[in-house]
């Protein structure tokens, strides 16, 4: 199905990787396909494009995949995501995204677990490190006789990338201006799922973060 929309094998595989990243990064035990702010998802996909090597970037550009919104349009054409304007904060509509069906979530997770394994350790600093992910020539198997757990490694890796993007967005200060609330709701979860427990503790004890979270989400959700 992907190859019917994106003709080259390289771009088709990359779009599958982006879809798998959506399935893995934002799912939770309570909801496997939640509505997520489209903004942060497209930032994640843009980062994935930015850290491709030159040859791969040329192929993606040739196929019209230059930014995260290009990936979104492709996935919409394939029919595997839903995009909708939902009620947000301050009486504003927020454009959100989710995977169309639970079985598609399983496909996305399985694709990453089968084809890709990020070589990143628990001690790796939180930084933009998609360049460390072997998008090309991935290992044939995600098991190599060691005790590594690829699914957990991929989960940690992607959540750390989201945390880095949130750090860039915050730029050292918390504010309620220009935010749809998703960052304040999900940021602590991404830190914990990225195994960045000390950062999560620091965030949840930051008075400015707590004040903004309460103001945006209310007492019950905040």
3-state secondary structure of 87: strand
Confidence (pLDDT) at 83:
96
Q: Please report how many Cα atoms fall inside a 13 Å half-sphere around the Cα of residue 4, on the Cβ side.
A: 6
pLDDT of residue 149: 54
Q: In degrees rounded to 5, what are phi and psi of residue 85?
A: -85, 120
pLDDT at site 177: 62
Q: What number of CA atoms fall less than 13 Å from residue 153's CA on the CB side?
A: 19
91: number of Cβ within 10 Å: 6
Residue 71 has which token pair? 């990936």
Q: In this predicted model, what pLDDT tens digit does every residue of 62-109 receive, in sequence order? A: 999 999 999 999 999 999 999 999 876 556 788 999 999 999 999 998
Q: What is the pTM of this model?
A: 0.82
- Under DSSP, is residue 96 helix (H, G, I), strand (E, B) or coil? strand
Length of the chain: 222
Residue 116: per-residue pLDDT: 62
Tell me the three state secondary structure of residue 99.
strand
Q: Show the low-confidence residues of the chain (pLDDT under 70).
A: 88-91, 115-150, 176-180, 219-222
CB within 8 A of 2, min separation 6: which ones? 12, 15, 16, 78
């Amino acid at each position: 199905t992907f190859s019917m929309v994106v003709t080259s094998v390289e771009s088709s595989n990359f779009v599958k990787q982006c879809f798998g990243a959506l399935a893995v990064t934002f799912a939770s035990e309570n909801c496997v396909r939640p509505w997520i702010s489209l903004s942060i998802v497209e930032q994640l996909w843009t980062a994935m494009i930015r850290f491709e090597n030159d040859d791969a970037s040329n192929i993606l550009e040739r196929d019209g995949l230059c930014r995260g919104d290009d990936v979104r349009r492709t996935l919409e054409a394939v029919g595997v995501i839903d995009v909708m304007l939902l009620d947000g904060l301050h009486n504003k509509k927020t454009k959100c995204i989710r995977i169309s069906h639970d079985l598609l979530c399983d496909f996305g997770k399985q694709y990453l677990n089968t084809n890709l394994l990020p070589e990143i350790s628990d001690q790796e600093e939180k930084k933009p490190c998609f360049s460390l992910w072997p998008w090309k020539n991935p290992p044939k198997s995600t098991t190599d006789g060691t005790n590594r757990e690829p699914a957990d490694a991929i989960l940690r890796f992607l959540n750390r990338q989201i945390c880095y993007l949130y750090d860039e967005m915050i730029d050292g200060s918390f504010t309620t201006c220009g935010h749809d609330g998703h960052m304040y709701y999900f940021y602590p979860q991404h830190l914990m799922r990225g195994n960045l427990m000390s950062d999560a503790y620091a965030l949840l004890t930051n008075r400015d973060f707590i004040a903004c979270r309460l103001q945006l989400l209310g007492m019950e959700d905040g």
